[in-house]
Amino acid sequence: MAQQSFSGVLRQEPLTEHDTGYVVGIDIGGTNLRVALSDSSGAIIARQSASTAGIRDPQLVVDMIRRSIDKLLQEKGLSRKSLLAVAAGAPGITDVNAGVVIATSYLMGWRDIPLQAMLESALGVPAAIENDVNLAALGESCAGIGQGAKDFVFIAVGTGIGAGIILNGTPLRGMGWTVGEIGYMLVPGAPEEPAGPGEPGALESLAGGEGIRNQWLRAWNPEKTRLPKDLTATQIFDHAAQENGDPLARAILQRSAQLLAYAIYNLSLVLSCPLFVLGGSVGLHPALSPAVQTILRRREQSAHCQVSCSTLGADAQLYGAIRMALDTAIAMQGRNVAK
């Protein structure tokens, strides 16, 4: 369904000369690399994913990307010449103009990596790079629940928490490429002690995937719950969501939802933005957005926010990357025509 609505949305400008061309969207995660081949309408026609566990060297990641793309093209009987452009999302501070990943927290050791140039050199086509949360926001904006919304915020709740802000249809990037670092936001109930280097921020230390797990571990007591001690955030939410669900799991869902609701409320006050889309492995849990929405309803007088679950799910980044790759191909085409 997402792909259906996507077609035509991405192609705001016709790719007249290269209508037979293809682009690739890439999602470089801390544990997985995902590569999707798309036609010029923005529909994914083939995809591949591979583990990046233990791989830290950016050149090795670029080599993996090149091999994945070659395999996808081969699978579809396409030549390298039909590839027009690629775009990749990386989990970290990304200078979109310079094409450099300035710093990542998950891919340790990535500092000032000229990823755009490395991709262009390896693939021989124009490349673009962007922060993965901004790409997910862009994906939801052009192919997901953000379609038609001029202003909205995508909130990725995974291990950490980050926001991609779309204002007037385009991602807000700001100075230093660090817009939307809401994992550090200070809300009532979050720790006030500043986070040390490499430590999670105030909000994510309680409401991120690891934070939720840590809340559970700290509160766990065989007298309070019959559930095992070793549970992930989504498992805790699964138990909370059941009818007559575990009381401790429910309390932790409630507390996490409240912290997130406070952060969303603050964002809404600052940006006057009515739509918030939850994504990321924890943010996609079906119990979370209704719980957050219920808490926000008490504050409707000062800020009206609609909280929805991402419709593209784990593919939001990939769709955003495809959109960026198509834009790159179109820009390149314009430049070639002008020559």
Burial 65-98 (b: 16+ CB within 10 A, else e): bbebbeebbeeeebeeebbbbbbbbbbbbbbbee
Part of the chain binding a copy of itself (CB under 8 A), chosen from 36-44, 218-226, 271-279, 308-316: 271-279
Out of 124, 189, 286, 290, the residue judged to bind a copy of itself by CB under 8 A: 189
Residue 277: which H helix or E strand, with range? strand 275-279
The verdict on 308 binding a copy of itself (CB under 8 A) reads: no
Between 60 and 270, CB nearer to a copy of itself: 270
List the one residue from 14, 124, 194, 247 that touches a copy of itself (CB under 8 A).
Answer: 194
- Applying CB under 8 A, the site for a copy of itself has a residue count of 43
User: Under DSSP, is residue 43 helix (H, G, I), strand (E, B) or coil?
Assistant: coil
Beta bridge partners, 46, equal 37
- Spatial distance between the Cα atoms of 2 and 315, rounded to a whole number of angstroms: 10
Nearer to a copy of itself, 52 or 134 (CB): 134
Segment contacting a copy of itself (CB under 8 A): 82-90, 167-175, 210-218, 305-313? 167-175
Closer to a copy of itself by Cβ: residue 36 or 261: 261
* Residue 69 in contact with a copy of itself, rule: CB under 8 A: no
Min separation Cβ 215 and a copy of itself, Å: 17
**Token digits for 309?**
């679950």
**Interaction between residue 186 and a copy of itself (CB under 8 A):** yes
Q: Which is closer to a copy of itself, CB of 190 or CB of 329?
A: 190
Distance of alpha carbon 330 from alpha carbon 333, whole angstroms: 5
Angle, CA of 40, 46 and 48, to the nearest 5°: 130
Residue 179 interacts with a copy of itself (CB under 8 A): yes or no: yes
> What DSSP state is assigned to residue 137?
H
Interface residue with a copy of itself among 77, 109, 221, 298 (CB under 8 A) is 298
Three-state secondary-structure class, residue 267: helix
C-alpha span between 287 and 147 (Å, rounded): 23
User: Pick from 197, 261, 213, 174: which is nearest to 205 by CA?
Assistant: 213
One residue of 188, 337, 338, 339 binding a copy of itself per CB under 8 A: 188
- DSSP code for 58: H
Near a copy of itself by CB under 8 A: residue from 271, 309, 314, 332: 271
Q: Between 125 and 154, how does the x/- string for binding to a copy of itself read (CB under 8 A)?
A: -------------------------xx---
Please, what is the minimum distance in Å from the beta carbon of residue 90 to a copy of itself? Answer: 17
Under the binding rule (CB under 8 A), the answer on residue 284 touching a copy of itself is no
Tell me if 92 sits within 8 A of 107, measured CB to CB. Answer: yes
From 79, 221, 244, 301, residue interacting with a copy of itself (rule: CB under 8 A) = 301
Query: Smaller CB distance to a copy of itself: residue 49 or 105?
Result: 105
195 belongs to the binding site for a copy of itself (CB under 8 A): yes
Q: Which stretches within the chain are classed as H helix? A: 2-6, 58-75, 115-123, 132-143, 204-207, 209-219, 233-241, 247-271, 280-283, 288-297, 316-338
Residues that bind a copy of itself (CB under 8 A): 150-151, 163, 165, 167, 172-182, 184-190, 192, 194-195, 197, 201, 262, 265-267, 269-274, 298-299, 301-303
